[in-house]
Amino acid sequence: MAKKRIQIIGDSLSMHRKDEGILYKDTYPYILSKKYEVIRTCGYGKTTNDEFKIEPDVDYVIVHLGLVDCFPRVHAKNTKLILFYLPNQLRQMVTFFHRHYRFYFTRMFPRVTTESDDFIGNIIKIIRAIIGSGSIPIIVDIAHVSEAVTKRNYGANENIEKYNDILRRLSFHYDCERVRLHYMTKHYPEMLHTDGQHLSKIGHRVLSGLIDDTIEGYNGRK
């Protein structure tokens, strides 16, 4: 019997992080590839604003996006452009100051990459594209982040819960399967890497199991 084909649309939580000890063989896409034919459309820093092509003849599409969309940001887009043209020494001084006082900047000037209304529209567009292609969408929650991360990024988990609520409501509206990664990472902190926001080796193994269970559960209900 041919393997079922799954496509994973994801950000850095779907990727290897070699410098942090997470090799490709440790990631959930690789673990799933032992049972399924996996097509990865993942990338570092990906958001729902990016264009994604739904591959043909795919049974399931895993949508694992949102953390980059909702994470507190210090710089607005135009600020990054200005910094790019500053002399190197001055740019380093400015970025050091922002990095050192990141919590206060993210509290005083709350910014995200994707505003919630835009996030809703983007997710609807992705879900409709998946359904329109004849594939089954599986939505993965945005992972909880550690206390250490929230001490540097004001309101990080509050943003995550707000955007997860959007995913929950849209999953219900479009009758999508949903993987509750947020609940798992909140109650089992060993699933998070030491950086507090990416997945550990354990986290990748658990998530691969959750996705597999979701697919098997769906097959059992057909």
Length of the chain in terms of residues written: 222
Q: What percent of the chain has pLDDT over 90?
A: 77
pTM of the model: 0.88
Position 130 confidence tier, pLDDT thresholds 50, 70, 90:
very high
Looking at this protein, which amino acid is placed at residue 207?
A: L
Q: Are 157 and 150 in contact (CB under 8 A)?
A: yes
Q: How far is residue 9's CA from residue 48's CA, in Å, rounded to a whole number?
A: 10
Beta bridge partners of 138: 62, 177
User: CA quadruple 199, 200, 204, 205: dihedral positive or negative?
Assistant: negative
Q: Are 139 and 171 in contact (CB under 8 A)?
A: yes
- Grouping H, G, I as helix, E, B as strand and the rest as coil, residue 214 is helix
Q: With helix as H, strand as E and coil as C, how does 148-199 read?
A: HHHCCCCCHHHHHHHHHHHHHHHHHHCCCEEECHHHHHHHCHHHECCCCCCE
pLDDT for 53: 93
For residue 135, pLDDT beyond 50? yes
Phi, psi of 62 (to 5 degrees): -90, 120
pLDDT for 222: 46
Average pLDDT of the segment spanning 24-47: 96
Rg (CA), the chain: 18
Average pLDDT of the segment spanning 44-57: 94
How far the first Cα of the chain sits from its last, in Å, is: 18
pLDDT for 89: 63
Instruction: Tell me which residue of 48, 15, 64, 49 sits closest to 176, measured CA to CA.
Output: 64
The CATH code belonging to domain 5-71+115-221 is 3.40.50.1110
Could you say which DSSP state residue 141 is in?
P
pLDDT tens, position by position, 137-148: 999 999 999 999
Residues 200/205/207/210 CA torsion (nearest 10 deg): -160
pLDDT for 93: 58
Residue entry with tokens 């994470």: 71
For the chain, the domains span 5-71+115-221, 73-111
pLDDT for 73: 83
Average pLDDT of the segment spanning 203-215: 97
Q: How far is residue 216's CA from residue 222's CA, in Å, rounded to a whole number?
A: 10
